[in-house]
Chain A
Amino acid sequence: MATGNDVREIFQLKPSEQVRRVHKPEKKPEGISRELYGLIGNNVSTVAFNNPLYKPKLNVSKKAVNWTWRPFVNPSRDDDLVLHHWEKTRTDPNEEYRFYKFNKAINLIEFSAEDYKAHLQDSDWTLEETNYLWDLCRRFDLRWTVIQDRYEWPPQEQDRMALQFYNGNNLTRPSITNKTEEASEPATAIQPSSTVTVQPSSTTAPSGTDGAAMDIITETSSSLATPSLATQDTPTQEITGNADSSATTMGSVVAATEMAATEAAAAKVPAAEVPAAEIPTAAATTTSAVAAPEVTSAVTAPEVTTEAPVPSTSLPTSVSTSAPTSSSATTVTAAASITTAEKATTTPMEIVSFTPAKTRSMEVLKNRYYTINRILTKVRLSDASQAVERAQLLSSLSYDKNREMERKKNLEILNTRTPEQIEEEEALYLEARRIDQNEKKIARERENLLRLLSTRDIYGPGGPASAGLAGQVAGGGGPGSGIIISNNSITIPSSGPSGDNGASRPMSPSVGKNASGAAMAGGTSAQTGPVKKRKKAPKGSVQAEETASNQTKGSHNRRPSNASSVNDGPSNGLPPGVQVKKEKLTPGAYLRSQKMTPVVSTKLQRVHATLSHLGLPLKPSMPTATVMSKWDQLSSNIVTLLDIKKQVDKLESDLKVVKMRRGSASGVGLFPASGGGSGGASSADGNYGVKREGTADDSGVPGQVKKKKKKE
């Protein structure tokens, strides 16, 4: 490890003069025992001492930090409100207010009236209402729950003024505000729609509303849209009649007129309408009239004076009332609003009728918001260079209204279940799970069974029949009932002329070559079969096999090599999904005895027992390749046979149990007592159907084994 001195050496500097301090343990003097020296010597104590901690003494010498009661201004505020707080004296008095940085506002995408006209038209929305939505979004920082709660279009007086406030318009002292809607419980504020349409010539419409209290608000319709006009909007004439508790209907007419001189006549229409509408109100009001001076000033706004000053100014003083309503009285507001067109032309009023203060569902509001955002994003980020950004933005702005509504509806249903429904649902769920698990269990069992059966099929003489069975089962079986065919026993590289029993096991040359190719690929064989030839081989092999399969039907299933199995996989009669187990090739030099498939040790005993039952020795006396291959087949067949036997025993006992249960449950039993034997058992479900077939085939196995034995 390089030390500092090594570095110094490299840089050809003098070695450091630092004296290396070596801790030299003091040597124990002679004549003192080690234990005693440990006590008296200047050794580090082995015991850690904890000095008891007392309450720290007051440090008189240290000067206390000075604090000052200091004024401060919060930059988050528009005004210069000076508040005081304690600050450490040493801090800078001119430092920016500590909490200013927390004053965050959300960034809303903005749009102008032109944008609106060009892109954002919607039959259900007006520019004003969209602006109103935008203002609410800004005020409540996109808290949709609150926005939906407060959403009322056309906005109430309070909201209107607040909107102007948030829009940054300077407010003059507003006119008197006598609204009683808030007193009423919000839930009970039902607003019947009394839509009023005023034709340019006819001026009778407002009086057409019920003879109840009237709330007439005259304002410029574009107050929300254009800030310049919004200032004109502040001298709002508002004449509120406060109905007593019996008369609970309050019609409010919002006549919005552009205060253009050319439209003065138009502006006069609602103003002239006031007297007629107000008379019943005056009669209905029982509370004391509180006439604020602002009303008169508001009404005599210069724009109105030209045409309609007299009727309108006379009214507010006589009619305006202000009193907190008795809270029990539910005030139902019917706000019929009349909006004039905002075109500054000489054409008379174009009337748009509104339903009274309407609320919208959160989905509608959100949909509008996101739609506008999407449209504007598309329009504004139209460059190709911004495509990625745009795609990201658009994906974040996606909103599916219908899906959302559907979701909420479902959620509602989910949340209003009765305990019984919940219980039932849970029971059903458990049942479904149980069925599902049983399904898996059955499928697993079936799979095992099929594996056993198909192993036999390969060698069995009844090739088509067993293949048909495999196909049938694989077709009707559940998921995962794949059939794995193991052909371990034909892995012997019998490339040469294959023994004497060519009749029973015809090996056409092409097949032989094929097999040799496979063997060579494993690098096991000493044969030098050409690789190229192997590629050619399949076609020939297929044909050869077809001919061969005429002789022995089971033979075409013996595809030892991967190449052949790939090629005639579809044609060899195996159902799709049936895997053919690949031949396991041992690399390097090996003994032939290694090729013998070992019998599982647990079954060894029984296999031996079977062999002795057949009168065969435990090991073949003449272990030629052919004999060994036969021997291998035999032993694996014996294993299969044992397995199948076991399976049959199990299923039979199952069947017996089920039958007994059925019998005890329903006396006679639903099913006719079937022959307990393996062949003719008619069972209730598919599970047993499989078993039956399995057992039916079982009968063939011993015969086969015997046959093979005979061949030996």
Chain B
Amino acid sequence: MGTYGGDEVAALVLSVGHTWTQAGYAGEDTPKSIFPTSVGWVDTPPEADKGDDADNSEDTQMQDVSQQQGANNDSNNIHKKDADGGDVAAQPMGAGAVPSKKKKTLRGKYYVGDGEISCWKPDMEIKSPIKDGLVEDWDALEQIWDHAFLKRLRCDPTEHPLIITESAWNTREIREKLTELAFEKYNFPAFFVAKDAVMTAFAAGRPHALVVDSGGDMTSVVPVYDGYVLRKGIMRQSLGGDVLSEQALQQFQSNNVDVVPQYLVAKKSPVEVGQKPIVTLRDRAATASFHKMMQMRVIHDYKESVCQVSESTYNEQNINARPQKPYELPDGYNNNFGTDRFKIPEIMFNPKEFLKNPTSEQENFVGLPKLIFNSAQSCDVDFRPTLFSNVVLTGGNTLFPGFADRLHWELNSIPHSYKVKLHAPGNTVERKCGSWLGGSIMASLGTFHQLWISRKEYDETGPSIVNKKCV
């Protein structure tokens, strides 16, 4: 036990990413629970809500407003609701971190977890509370915490210290709110916030690393020096798996193929390759966000089973010689995919050429190798060889076959005289849960326990203590 410096204190490790949330106990090699970060909710009708807490007149007023806004099921409206809600909530609650009841009435019932959100319900909105690595929607985040601790791990938060991961560019406000949430609502005895890049480096067993994290929402490159993030070297862009999925969807649409998600399919018959599907659809009205998520789920499966990265520079002729792969959509449409399946992940390496119909933001995307190179280049010249020999690859978007080979090839073709060494765990879980794993390792180290933020320290200093202790 003492041989590897471990000392288990039954800490919980929580890593909330844009797409997936991982929760488990420190010291284990896999999270106990992995579920989508996206939460669903159904707006409660005002009449029903009045019955619940009719004593609060302010609530009723709020609901009216929400009802008007909720009339059109546009996800953009949710932002407005948040803003308004935050406005009202802020005054009595101080920093506004402790969520108000009103928001709950606004949204009604929440659905968290794979089984709940992927089950069709009319009027259910779906959204991920994390955007660009930052928490956007605190109510939804709270639901996730609830779900993770109470429904999945089924533990008593007052008995376990908690360590969570955050993005390297997280803001101070968010960390303070997280701290407040941990201590005020859940009463954790101790708490810590770790940078996910550092944790990934830790999981790879490296004190210095250049962590390349490509997730659903975004891709980031973060240099880590001896367990500290070098802020000036952080490079990121919102080019992630979701953009790729969107492009794949566009690819289908340009071929006049409608991607029908599973929940709409009642009955299907087998058809020949490339023929129109023979399908009976269910009459299920759903919100746009739900439909989108279910479509993305199909595309996600398509990406996982078919897409591949060319091991060297994309060459149409070579790609044409590669074997095609068959894939069948939920409605029975099936086809063999050749070059298309290479074009999608190619966006990661050459967005200028392969990204179709880019938005103004997307036009500025650069390829991943360039991003990595820029990040390393902004660090001290003495440190660069170390960075290049410790490139750690993580995130679900890097799991395309051939991704690591290609990245290695690209990094070597950029003119420099460093030796590039890519660390890409072959194990899928390790690749997906890199930061969780690092947190799990770190929180079970005996030498780590002096770093926890304790309840006492929080009471003395307030939430801002997190900015001092977790650097």
Seen from chain A, the residues whose Cβ lies within 8 Å of a Cβ on chain B are: 74, 76-86, 97-99, 102-103, 139-140, 143, 145-146, 148-150, 158, 161-162, 165-166, 171, 173-174, 177-180, 182-183, 185-187, 288-290, 292-293, 322-325, 327-328, 362, 408, 411-412, 414-419, 422
Q: Is A327 a contact of B457 with CB atoms below 8 Å?
A: no
13 other A-B residue contacts (CB within 8 Å) besides A84-B10, A149-B225: A81-B189, A85-B8, A98-B7, A145-B379, A146-B228, A173-B462, A174-B461, A178-B173, A185-B236, A292-B95, A322-B96, A328-B361, A415-B384
Contacts of A411 in B (CB 8 A): 381-382
Please tell me if B174 contacts chain A, counting CB pairs below 8 Å: yes
Nearest CB on B from A473, distance (A): 45
Q: Mark B212-228, 1 if CB is under 8 A from A, else 0.
A: 00000000000001101
Q: Is A140 a contact of B415 with CB atoms below 8 Å?
A: no
A412-B450 contact, Cβ under 8 Å, with A161-B467, A292-B94? no
Q: Mark B429-449, 1 if CB is under 8 A from A, else 0.
A: 000000000000000001101
Which of B173, B230, B452, B456 gathers the greatest number of chain A CB atoms within 10 Å? B173
Contacts of B381 in A (CB 8 A): 408, 411-412, 415
Nearest CB on A from B388, distance (A): 10
Q: Is B468 a contact of A322 with CB atoms below 8 Å?
A: no
A161-B464 contact, Cβ under 8 Å, with A81-B189, A182-B172? yes
Q: Is A288 a contact of B230 with CB atoms below 8 Å?
A: no
Q: Is B171 a contact of A185 with CB atoms below 8 Å?
A: no
Find residues 122-146 in chain B having any chain A CB closer than 8 Å to their own CB: 132, 134-135
Please tell me if B358 contacts chain A, counting CB pairs below 8 Å: no
A322-B173 contact, Cβ under 8 Å, with A85-B9, A415-B416? yes
Q: Is B95 a contact of A150 with CB atoms below 8 Å?
A: no
Docked complex Cα distance between A322 and B455 (Å):
25
**Of A74, A85, A325, which is within 8 A of B450 by CB?**
A74
Q: Is B235 a contact of A187 with CB atoms below 8 Å?
A: yes
Contacts of A80 in B (CB 8 A): 456
Q: Which residue of B lies closest to A184 (CB)?
A: B169
A288-B94 contact, Cβ under 8 Å, with A76-B450, A186-B231? no
Docked complex Cα distance between A85 and B161 (Å):
12
Q: Which residue of A lies closest to B457 (CB)?
A: A79
A325-B171 contact, Cβ under 8 Å, with A77-B450, A415-B418, A419-B415? yes
A81-B454 contact, Cβ under 8 Å, with A145-B230, A186-B231? yes
Docked complex Cα distance between A187 and B377 (Å):
12
Nearest CB on A from B14, distance (A): 18
Q: Is A290 a contact of B230 with CB atoms below 8 Å?
A: no
The 9 closest A-B pairs by CB, nearest first: A99-B446, A76-B450, A81-B454, A186-B231, A162-B468, A165-B468, A83-B9, A183-B171, A146-B228
Docked complex Cα distance between A186 and B220 (Å):
14
Docked complex Cα distance between A411 and B228 (Å):
24
Q: Which residue of A lies closest to B11 (CB)?
A: A83
Nearest CB on B from A422, distance (A): 7
Nearest CB on A from B59, distance (A): 19
Q: Is B2 a contact of A98 with CB atoms below 8 Å?
A: yes
Q: Which residue of B lies closest to A145 (CB)?
A: B225
Docked complex Cα distance between A602 and B417 (Å):
55
A415-B417 contact, Cβ under 8 Å, with A81-B189, A182-B169, A322-B173? yes
- Pick out which of these stretches binds chain A: B41-49, B83-91, B104-112, B303-311: B83-91
A158-B228 contact, Cβ under 8 Å, with A324-B134, A416-B416? no
Question: How many interface residues does B have (CB within 8 Å)?
Answer: 64
Contacts of A173 in B (CB 8 A): 460-462
Find residues 2-19 in chain B having any chain A CB closer than 8 Å to their own CB: 2, 5, 7-10
Q: Which residue of A lies closest to B383 (CB)?
A: A145
A79-B461 contact, Cβ under 8 Å, with A324-B173, A414-B417? no
Nearest CB on A from B419, distance (A): 11
Q: Is A322 a contact of B95 with CB atoms below 8 Å?
A: yes
Q: Is B415 a contact of A99 with CB atoms below 8 Å?
A: no
Nearest CB on A from B421, distance (A): 16
Contacts of A187 in B (CB 8 A): 232-235, 378
Q: Which residue of B lies closest to A103 (CB)?
A: B450
Contacts of A103 in B (CB 8 A): 447, 450
Q: Is A149 a contact of B230 with CB atoms below 8 Å?
A: yes
Q: Which residue of A lies closest to B8 (CB)?
A: A85
Q: Is A185 a contact of B234 with CB atoms below 8 Å?
A: yes
**Of A99, A186, A414, which is within 8 A of B5 by CB?**
A99
Q: Mark B148-172, 1 if CB is under 8 A from A, else 0.
A: 0000000000000100000001111
Nearest CB on A from B339, distance (A): 30
Q: Is B450 a contact of A327 with CB atoms below 8 Å?
A: no
Total of A-B residue pairs, C-beta within 8 Å: 161
Contacts of A324 in B (CB 8 A): 134-135, 171, 173-174
Contacts of A78 in B (CB 8 A): 457
Please tell me if B190 contacts chain A, counting CB pairs below 8 Å: yes
Q: Is B86 a contact of A81 with CB atoms below 8 Å?
A: no
Docked complex Cα distance between A172 and B11 (Å):
29
Q: Is A146 a contact of B446 with CB atoms below 8 Å?
A: no
Q: Which residue of B lies closest to A180 (CB)?
A: B171
Docked complex Cα distance between A99 and B451 (Å):
12
A162-B462 contact, Cβ under 8 Å, with A81-B190, A143-B225, A177-B172? no
Contacts of B172 in A (CB 8 A): 158, 177, 179, 182
Nearest CB on B from A411, distance (A): 5
Nearest CB on A from B207, distance (A): 10
Q: Which residue of A lies closest to B452 (CB)?
A: A81
Contacts of A146 in B (CB 8 A): 225-226, 228, 230
Contacts of B231 in A (CB 8 A): 149-150, 186
Docked complex Cα distance between A338 and B447 (Å):
43
**Of A76, A83, A165, A422, which is within 8 A of B417 by CB?**
A422
Docked complex Cα distance between A186 and B452 (Å):
27
Contacts of A183 in B (CB 8 A): 134, 169, 171
Please tell me if B353 contacts chain A, counting CB pairs below 8 Å: no
**Of B94, B169, B456, which is within 8 A of A81 by CB?**
B456
Please tell me if B471 contacts chain A, counting CB pairs below 8 Å: yes
Nearest CB on B from A296, distance (A): 13
Please tell me if B380 contacts chain A, counting CB pairs below 8 Å: yes
Q: Which residue of A lies closest to B235 (CB)?
A: A187
Nearest CB on B from A537, distance (A): 68
Docked complex Cα distance between A334 and B58 (Å):
42
Find residues 58-87 in chain B having any chain A CB closer than 8 Å to their own CB: 83, 86-87
Nearest CB on B from A307, distance (A): 29
16 residue pairs of the A-B complex, CB under 8 angstroms, read A77-B452, A99-B5, A145-B225, A145-B383, A162-B468, A173-B460, A179-B172, A180-B171, A290-B95, A322-B173, A325-B171, A327-B169, A328-B361, A408-B382, A415-B381, A415-B416
Nearest CB on A from B445, distance (A): 8
**Of A99, A290, A293, A412, which is within 8 A of B449 by CB?**
A99
Docked complex Cα distance between A86 and B27 (Å):
13
Contacts of B161 in A (CB 8 A): 83
Find residues 384-419 in chain B having any chain A CB closer than 8 Å to their own CB: 384, 415-418
Nearest CB on B from A82, distance (A): 8
A171-B461 contact, Cβ under 8 Å, with A77-B454, A99-B7, A292-B94? yes
Q: Which residue of B lies closest to A408 (CB)?
A: B381
Contacts of B449 in A (CB 8 A): 74, 76-77, 83, 99
Q: Is A158 a contact of B467 with CB atoms below 8 Å?
A: yes
Contacts of B171 in A (CB 8 A): 180, 182-183, 324-325
Docked complex Cα distance between A418 and B414 (Å):
9
Q: Is B415 a contact of A416 with CB atoms below 8 Å?
A: yes
**Of A162, A186, A323, which is within 8 A of B471 by CB?**
A162
**Of B8, B361, B462, B471, which is within 8 A of A86 by CB?**
B8
Contacts of A148 in B (CB 8 A): 380
Contacts of A408 in B (CB 8 A): 380-382
Nearest CB on A from B232, distance (A): 5
Nearest CB on A from B213, distance (A): 16
A85-B87 contact, Cβ under 8 Å, with A143-B228, A173-B461, A411-B381? no
Contacts of B361 in A (CB 8 A): 328
